[in-house]
Copies of this chain bind each other. A is one copy, B any other.
């Protein structure tokens, strides 16, 4: 990697940073024994605390049938569980199993540790700034995610050329 103008360099630095974080996430998902759709769904559930099957279907972009199976897998793997809705017995709430989230934490532990090492080299003020960035960037990334998913035409199958 040569040393181009700093604007370019920032671009590359950020790109590689994103890639590294993304790859780490994928490795984590695999280590947790979860496929990406399951990992994605679990993140959604953990984030919202609790979702109905239908809501999960909407958020993941899957059909309700596929979502049922997805929940089956998550449940079988011990990451989530079904809970009845007291007011509407057709509905099924899906909620994370706390114990399993701890397992996910374990998988993320190496990343946390390595990053902690990096953070340790900064002053408390600098660390505060970084965490301020984390807090602000998370919603920004979530907004970007929604934007991407909204713009992406669902083209899972490439049979039609």
- Is B137 in contact with A27, judged by CB distance below 8 angstroms? no
Q: Assess the A141–B47 pair: CB atoms within 8 A.
A: no
User: Is A139 an interface residue, CB under 8 A from the partner?
Assistant: yes
Q: Do residues B152 and A137 form an inter-chain contact, with CB atoms below 8 A?
A: no
Residue of B nearest to A77 (CB): B158
- Which residues 104-161 of A have a CB within 8 angstroms of B? 105, 107-108, 110-115, 117-118, 121-122, 126, 129-131, 133-145, 147-149, 151-152, 155, 158
Nearest-Cβ distance from residue A138 to partner chain B, whole angstroms: 4
Which chain B residue shows the least CB distance to A130?
A: B133
What is the distance, in angstroms, from A158's C-beta to the closest C-beta of chain B?
A: 7
Report the Cα distance A24→B93, complex, angstroms: 25
Contact residues of A: prevailing secondary structure: helix
> Is there contact, CB below 8 Å, between A30 and B152?
yes
Count of this chain's copies in the oligomeric assembly: 2
Task: Check A20 for interface membership: any CB of B closer than 8 A.
Answer: yes
Q: Are B10 and A23 in contact (CB under 8 A)?
A: no
B14 touching A40, Cβ below 8 Å:
no
Encode A16-37 as 1/0 by CB contact (under 8 A) with B. Answer: 1111111111111111010110
Extra inter-chain contacts (16) besides given A10-B131, A115-B144, CB under 8 Å: A13-B134, A14-B134, A15-B108, A18-B108, A19-B43, A21-B25, A21-B138, A22-B25, A22-B39, A23-B40, A24-B141, A28-B148, A33-B158, A110-B144, A111-B140, A118-B133
